[in-house]
Structure 1
Amino acid sequence: MNNSNNEISLGGVDKRVSMITGDPKKAIRALSIPMIISMLLMMAYNLADSIWVAGLGPNSLAALGFITPLFMMVIGLGNGLGAGANSLISRCIGANNKKGSDNAAIHSLILTLILSSMLTVFVLIFLKDILLAMGAGESLNLAIQYGQIVFGGLIFLIFSSVASGILRAEGDVKRPMYAMAATAIINIILDPIFIYYFGLGVSGAAIATIISATISSALILYWLLLKRDTYVSLSRKDFHASWNVIKDILGVGLPASAEFFVMSILGIFVNIMLVMTGGTDAVAVYTAGWRVVMIAMIPAIGIGTAAITIAGAAYGSRKYDNISIALNYSSKLAIGIASITGLIIYVFASSIASIFAYSPESAFMAPSIAAFLQVMCLFLIVVPLGISASSVFQGMGKGLTSLILTVIREVLFISVFAYLMAFTLGLGVYGIWWGIVIGGAFGCGIAYLWASRYIKGLKRSYYKQDNYKSRISSGE
């Protein structure tokens, strides 16, 4: 019986590995669908926090808005380390290096424990000072209440992301989806219980988030350590301490995490500009509307995450044509989906906005949220170019290049355009919104062109080397 089960498990592993090393288009479609579902579920419970907290009034919703950039830094660290593990493991799989895959997986989990512990201490010590610098004002105490609980349990948030990245590297995207489904459902159920029934307010939303993340981590630990039907194995005999492995994981992981840091810094900068031009109400509008934008971006992010695995496997096996296919196909697929999504949001913007303005305290925000969503529909159409480009670079192990592209987009374009349009042109809050759209279009376009040019260079170099070897072998 055990032998039969092992054969079934091994067959499933072989099928997943064959998929990520085969047709890039087919693999991207197969991998991206469960990832998109997983991310939708993740955003669903984040959205649930906003919806339930919105009933407490604009100050409570603004408190979530001030914590969101910091929360994204934490999620960014987990996703970054997950991308580093995904990239290295998938490259090892492409090169048929099983021992390297196992060692990379173990190293990534050790790094997770170390870095998450250090970050927890740092954030809890400086949380109040950071929020004051962001201009939290009337929302300060509420933001501290929410932040202390969420960041106190951030090890579970980071671990879940990294462990999911390990599974995705071998083409296993269904089980991370199952874990996220459990997380979302539990969080959505617990939110109203802790927020209203127990009367804990924003603290209740934070408690629900940490409980659900803990359960997700427990599920993935069971699959990796107890069930043991994965391509990678995590036994002690498979671990061989190596600085090169650490550097390889961090070479993608830290720049990828830094990308979230840069985007979070932009979020802080945007919040400050919003406070200066429209007060905390403007932050509340942006917080609610941006949650919807993030949900709409999920297909592009899910497709891009699939491209990391495909590009990594192709790079490891030197199938550079597959990298080019992954970039172009992921971009076109994501733009097509984003165009449809953007049109739907534009038409139903008022109805969507009413979800966040269902209480007397928040009803006045509905027209502004609807206007914000209609502007951001254009942003949704251009952002897949940047996401696909960054994902392909991460898959190839070029995390620093991906980071540079993010800095160019967020700092040189979005933040500058937002500032110029809000203050220099005097457009206020609306100028900030349009600055995000125009800056994002320039930044994402440059990223895509950069990635295309880089891949063409790889192919030219490889073909020249291959032709040279052919001439040598034939005696020319």
Structure 2
Amino acid sequence: MQSRPNSGSVNEELFRSAPVGRAILELALPTIAAQLITVIYAVVDIFYVGQLGDPSQVAAVRIAFPPFLFLTALANLFGIGASSAIGRALGAGNPEKARRCAAFAFWCGVTVAVVYALLLWNMKEELLPLLGATAETYEPTVAYFSWMIGLGALPLVASNVLAHLVRSEGHARVAGRGIALGGLLNILIAPFFIFTLGLEVRGAAIAGFISNVVSALYIGRFVLMRKGRGTVVSLSPRLAREGSAWAFEIFSVGFASFVMTGLASFSNAVLNFLASGYGAPAVAGLGIAKQVDQMIFSCSIGLAQGTLPLIAYNFSSGNHERLRRVVKTALLGGVACSAAATLLLIAFSEPLTRAFIDESVTAAHASKCVRIIAVACPLSIIGHLMVSGFQACGARWRPLFLAFIRKGSIDAPLMWLFSSLFGFYGIAAAVPVSELISCSIGLALFLPFIAKLDGRPASVTNATVAKDK
């Protein structure tokens, strides 16, 4: 393969010539850890709040989860879109473009986060009942919502966008440490606010807010201290203005992840709304099950996001044989690990869910839902990798189509249908069925796409993706 000029990334060897298995592990493991820590925010909140023995407060955490998840969608819009652009720019030897894309993505992300938080806070009285809040759960939901979303939107989006940006040039460990630091801090300080200060569910949200601030400061400090030495990530407002030249490229690629996570938020809102008809214990039980299973789903997201810059670099540089090895290794390894974890979840679903709340009705709902939803976990690996693979290659419409298929367009209608046919547990059963449909379509689209790549260096206007633009 033709050598390329130094792009400013200290980890370029990892993208270009390191053994595929090692490259995937170095990029994906910190990303998976970061995703797990993100899930742990909600898991820890539900676990600690569950010790209060009040299903209405557990349900409040679950009801606030969809708008909280939508913040991740906003971070993905800018972070993943820029990550793909940066990876392809580095593969083409264009570090200046990478710097401008990074600055543009960061400032757009934090601006939109502030606007989103203001809108939702002013609309909370109309919004929360639509998300499943009832007279019993409204007050604790507002208490949680005010800190985790009203005040917490800015640090959450900032930390996640920054993590995507530094990961895109090979600094996955920095991103992982930053997110992990916040998560571990949340685990340590949440009991103080919840139990010692007696703030209950509000205390859980305050701890989460502080933890997100710490994560954003840690990764931001890495970028600012380097000031371009060994990193192409910049937070310069001047470069952000210049980076607007690539706004469409960033938005169009990141839009698929935004849609997928946004529709996941919508799906969770539908799930909460349907479950609310069966009472607060049902909402709490299904919420516990979703968070337990989400620990494996988050590994799927982490693996896909971790391999995205690796695929992008090798697509842009023309090393398509290496690209295919990356996809094959990630698919086989990811599905195998997820299947093993799924079996463990099914086997230990009862003690796992009992640890969250010692209330028989809620715990029974949670245990059964864990076993049903867990079946979808290995399928989720395939779906996320197919979307990220297209995004890494600069495709726009195909990952967007897959995003619509994965969430919202199939699972929400199936939840309504299965709920009417099978009752409460039909809501959970819709999850693995929709994952099976979406991952089958993803494989049918992506595998022929990479088989046709011809080994020539590719730009964002390459004919292999031109029809997607």
Do they fold alike, i.e. is TM over 0.5? Answer: yes
Are 2:374 and 1:377 equivalent residues in the alignment?
yes
User: Over residues 319-378 of structure 1, what are the superposed CA-to-partner deviations in whole Å (9 max), with x where a residue is unaligned?
Assistant: 3333333332222111100111011111111110111123xxx34322221111111221
Residues in 2 aligned to 1:289 and 1:385: alpha-carbon distance in whole angstroms: 22
Deviation at 1:399, TM superposition (A): 4.2
| 2:266 alignment partner AA | I
Q: Tell me the distance in 2 between the aligned counterparts of 1:384 and 1:444.
A: 9
Q: Structure 1 stretch 364-373 or stretch 385-394: which is displaced more?
A: 364-373
- Indicate yes or no: 2:193 matched with 1:197: no
Taking structure 1 as reference, are residues 93 and 54 closer, same or farther at Cα in structure 2, changes over 3 Å only?
same
Residue matched to 2:466: none
Q: Which residue of 2 aligns with 1:468?
A: none
CA RMSD of aligned residues (A): 2.2
Match of 2:461 in 1: none
Note the residue ranges of structure 2 that are not aligned, 5 or more in a row. Answer: 1-5, 459-469
1:429 corresponds to 2:449: no
The answer to whether the Cα contact below 8 Å between 2:60 and 2:141 also exists between their aligned partners in 1 is yes
Which stretch of the first structure deviates more once superposed, 16-25 or 280-289?
Answer: 16-25
Q: How far off its partner does 1:134 sit?
A: 2.3
Preserved contact between residue 87 and residue 169 of structure 2 (Cα < 8 Å): yes
8 A Cα contact 1:415 1:439, kept in partner: no
Change (3 A) 1:94 1:12: closer
Partner of 1:474: none
> C-alpha distance in 2, partners of 1:415/1:233?
38
Cα pair 1:58 1:284 within 8 Å, conserved = yes
| Matching of residue 445 in structure 1 with residue 446 in structure 2 | no
- Superposed, which structure 2 residues align to 1:258-273 within 5 Å? 258-273=259-274
Amino acid aligned to 1:50 = I
Aligned partners of 1:25 and 1:325 also within 8 Å: no
- Report the TM-score when normalising by structure 2: 0.90
Cα deviation digits, residues 73-102 of structure 1 (max 9, x gap): 012211332111211111101101011111
Which consecutive segments of 4 or more residues in structure 1 shift more than 6 A? 460-463
- Structure 1 counterpart of 2:32: 36
User: How many pairs align?
Assistant: 447
Who is 2:246 aligned against? Answer: 245
Distance in 2 separating the partners of 1:171 and 1:222: 17
Q: TM-score, normalised by structure 1?
A: 0.89
Q: Which has the higher helix share?
A: 1
Q: Which moved more, 1:320-329 or 1:75-84?
A: 320-329
Task: Indicate how the Cα distance of structure 1 residues 180 and 24 shifts in structure 2: closer, same or farther if over 3 A, else same.
Answer: same
Match of 1:19 in 2: 14
SS of the equivalent of 2:357 reads: coil
Equivalences for residues 77-476 of structure 1 within 5 A: 77-137=74-134, 138-151=136-149, 152-228=151-227, 229-234=229-234, 241-276=242-277, 278-358=278-358, 362-423=359-420, 425=421, 427-459=422-454
Question: Retained in 2: the 8 A contact 1:112–1:159?
Answer: yes
Sequence identity, in percent?
21
Deviation at 1:462, TM superposition (A): 8.7
* Whole-angstrom distance in 2 between the partners of 1:384 and 1:356: 26
Alpha carbons 2:7, 2:94 under 8 Å: kept: no
Question: Cα gap change, 1:220/1:334 in structure 2, threshold over 3 Å: closer, same or farther?
Answer: same
Distance 1:299 1:148 in 2: 29
Structure 1: where are the runs of 5+ without partners?
A: 1-10, 464-476
Q: Deviations over 1:84-140 (max 9, x none)?
A: 121111110110101111111111112123211211211111122111122310211
Instruction: Give the Cα separation in 2 of the matches to 1:79 and 1:451.
Output: 21
Larger radius of gyration: 1
Residues 220/461 of structure 1: CA separation in 2 closer, same or farther (3 Å cut): closer
Question: Is the 1:83–1:165 contact (alpha carbons within 8 Å) kept by the matching residues of 2?
Answer: yes
Deviation for aligned residue 1:265: 0.6
Single out whichever of 157-166 and 445-454 deviates more from structure 2: 445-454
The answer to whether the 8 A contact 2:9-2:230 is kept is no
Give the conservation status (yes or no) of the 8 Å contact 1:84–1:252.
yes
1:28 maps to amino acid: I
Mapped contact 2:45–2:204 kept (Cα < 8 A): yes
Change (3 A) 1:285 1:220: same
Measure the CA separation in 2 of the matches of 1:285 and 1:184: 23
Report the secondary structure of 1:411's partner residue.
coil
**Equivalent residue letter for 2:178:** A
Quote the offset at 1:298 in angstroms: 2.8
Deviation, 1:32, is 1.1
SS of match in other structure, 1:241: helix
